[in-house]
Structure 1
Amino acid sequence: MSAAPLTLTPALQQQLRDWLQEDIGRGDLSAAALRPGRCRAHWISKAPGVFCGGPLLDFVFRELDPKASVELLVADGDAVTPGQCLLNVEAEAAALVAAERTALNLAMRLSGIATATSRLVAELEGSGVRLADTRKTTPGLRVLEKYAVRCGGGVNHRLGLDDAAMLKENHLAWAGGVAAAIAAVRSGAPWPARVIVEAETSAEAQAAIEAGADGVLLDEFSPEALLELVPQLRALTSRPVVLEASGVQPEQLRAYAATGLDLISTSAPVTRSSWLDLSMRFSS
């Protein structure tokens, strides 16, 4: 499944250098066992899943060997099967071994997220409801983890606090209510900014729409409650308001999708996924 391309910004390139340095430290002591010279290696998948991380690999290997070359045989978002060859890489043997762990760790982590996302997206197929991620990400990996969600067919929620204002329980309590909180944000935010309210009751959801919220996140409502509530909220205004559910268990996705929601947000692909098992082998 295709996704918006990953841009290797200067900040991301520096992160990759730092991660390589974290592993290499003062130097790879195992390199002495290798014969000098260039060699080839290939990656295989040891489990079924969705591949992710390809755009990072050329940079990682070239950082240790500027003449390294990576031939990707699959694209990010492609389904892979056990035993499938994913890429070929050629470089100095010492560079291949030194970069191997960092490259594999990143690709296995991101592929695991893409795989978990794709399974949940498949549960929503045909419903018109999109699966979104959350800000529950690993510090330092947010851009990459959210990219992996896109590769699995999901959509990104806020990348950070400056993307949109989401007013939660604590905001509403300290602001003095839904209307006051929305008014305060509107008075200081740029005009294109969206305001989302997390509602824990039907009264809060109704108040959010009446106060002009662009979206309402319906937190931990049952599918049965939303079957009744969603049409009521749609009837309150003629303007488009995104209705989203959170606190959804994966086995309940189809039930929630039948309620008329626009989005279901979940942290599960990032917080609960297993790494996809990949391996690098020297080619004969």
Structure 2
Amino acid sequence: MSLFNLHSDTLTSHIKSWLQEDIGTGDVSALVTIPETHQSKGIIHAKQDGVIAGLPLIAMIFNIIDPQMQIQLLIPEGEHVSKGTTIAEINGNTRNILSGERLVLNLLQRLSGIASKTKQFATIIEDLDSNIADTRKTTPGLRVLEKYAVRIGGGVNHRVGLYDAVMIKDNHIKAAGGITAAVSNARKSIPHTMKIEVEVESLQEVTEALSAGADIIMLDNMHAEHMVQAVHQIREVNHNITIEASGGINLQSIRSVAETGVDIISIGGLTNGVQTIDISLDLYQKKGEEV
């Protein structure tokens, strides 16, 4: 699945807005220092190891700025590269290369950071049956891209927004008057094709969620020993219920969580506060050109 294709119109609109935010009335530095017709080759390369994500954005961004720009991708999307690897080559108008440089790098660095972190988590439990999932803890305006990067890194996507799934959390439970009431209210209003997920924090709440008929049960901030009990309790009642674990899970604890038998492990840190991958663009003057 490609989120780029699914949201191409929206993504194009975002890119144009981001370019306008940065360029405004014109790239003053490029306009006053570089001749209008000057041509260059730009080399995008990794300055540290990591999984590269977001390569389709290079052409999208540069071709919005200048449809004549020529872009050659030198590695496949999702490739794990080492420091110094050349990622892509851009040939075209020097001013336009420089005008698009920062947006391209900002997005590549962030998405590659997310893909790299997701890959770290996924690798630790690759021999187990659990999947790593993202959350809604994403950067406003970048959710589709950040969730795309999670998939590139070997993870799966949780709900995209508030509109595409029922997820009953602690505040919903309080406002509705309990898990049973919240699930009952939801079941009356949603189509039969939509599932209901309930967040629980104790074995007592697991029992109530099971009785209420939840389709997915999220074990939130549970200790590993309680998680084992919860998984056993749920499987005894219904093998078809999806079990999710969430809350404070890190690289040190992910293995023990997956070993409890949960199906999904959702981690907000995949997209929230992620460390970017250092990627750079170096400009090379074409033969016969003078600045």
TM-score, normalised via structure 2 length = 0.93
Corresponding residue for residue 289 of structure 2 = none
Asked if the contact 1:49/1:80 (under 8 Å) is kept, the reply is yes
1:116 aligned onto 2:114:
no
Corresponding residue for residue 21 of structure 2 = 22
Asked if the contact 1:114/1:151 (under 8 Å) is kept, the reply is yes
Asked if the contact 2:203/2:226 (under 8 Å) is kept, the reply is no
Question: Which deviations, in whole Å up to 9, do the C-alpha atoms of 1:64-84 show, x marking residues without a partner?
Answer: 111111111112211011000
Amino acid at match of 1:165: V
Amino acid at match of 2:38: G
Corresponding residue for residue 11 of structure 1 = 10
Secondary structure class of the residue paired with 2:213: coil
Q: Distance in 2 between matches of 1:146 and 1:5?
A: 8
Matches within 5 A, 1:66-145: 66-145=67-146
Asked if the contact 2:234/2:241 (under 8 Å) is kept, the reply is no
Shift in Å at residue 38 of structure 1?
2.3
Q: Distance in 1 between matches of 2:23 and 2:41?
A: 21
Bigger shift: 183-192 or 146-155?
183-192
Corresponding residue for residue 251 of structure 1 = 252
Q: Distance in 2 between matches of 1:218 and 1:18?
A: 39
Q: Distance in 2 between matches of 1:17 and 1:170?
A: 38
Shift in Å at residue 37 of structure 1?
2.6
Question: Which deviations, in whole Å up to 9, do the C-alpha atoms of 1:6-51 show, x marking residues without a partner?
Answer: 2252111011011011111121111221232322111110000000
Shift in Å at residue 55 of structure 1?
1.1
Q: Distance in 2 between matches of 1:216 and 1:5?
A: 27
Q: Distance in 2 between matches of 1:196 and 1:116?
A: 26
Q: Distance in 2 between matches of 1:142 and 1:112?
A: 14
Gaps of 5+ in 2: 286-291
Amino acid at match of 1:143: V
Amino acid at match of 1:190: P
CA RMSD of aligned residues (A): 1.3
Q: Distance in 1 between matches of 2:14 and 2:266?
A: 28
Shift in Å at residue 236 of structure 1?
1.4
Secondary structure class of the residue paired with 1:166: strand
Matches within 5 A, 1:110-259: 110-238=111-239, 240-247=240-247, 248-259=249-260
Shift in Å at residue 223 of structure 1?
1.1
Aligned residues: 281
Amino acid at match of 2:120: R
Shift in Å at residue 237 of structure 1?
2.3
Gaps of 5+ in 1: none
Asked if the contact 1:4/1:150 (under 8 Å) is kept, the reply is no
Amino acid at match of 2:21: E
Q: Distance in 1 between matches of 2:107 and 2:150?
A: 14
Question: Which deviations, in whole Å up to 9, do the C-alpha atoms of 1:212-240 show, x marking residues without a partner?
Answer: 111000001111221222111110125x1
Shift in Å at residue 91 of structure 1?
1.6
Q: Distance in 2 between matches of 1:152 and 1:40?
A: 29
The runs of at least 4 consecutive aligned structure 1 residues that moved more than 4 Å come to none
Corresponding residue for residue 48 of structure 2 = 47
Q: Distance in 2 between matches of 1:135 and 1:95?
A: 34
Secondary structure class of the residue paired with 1:235: helix
Q: Distance in 1 between matches of 2:59 and 2:150?
A: 21
TM-score, normalised via structure 1 length = 0.95
Amino acid at match of 1:184: N
Asked if the contact 1:210/1:236 (under 8 Å) is kept, the reply is no
Asked if the contact 1:52/1:151 (under 8 Å) is kept, the reply is yes
Q: Distance in 1 between matches of 2:139 and 2:109?
A: 15
Q: Distance in 1 between matches of 2:38 and 2:277?
A: 31
Identity of aligned residues (%): 38
Shift in Å at residue 5 of structure 1?
5.3
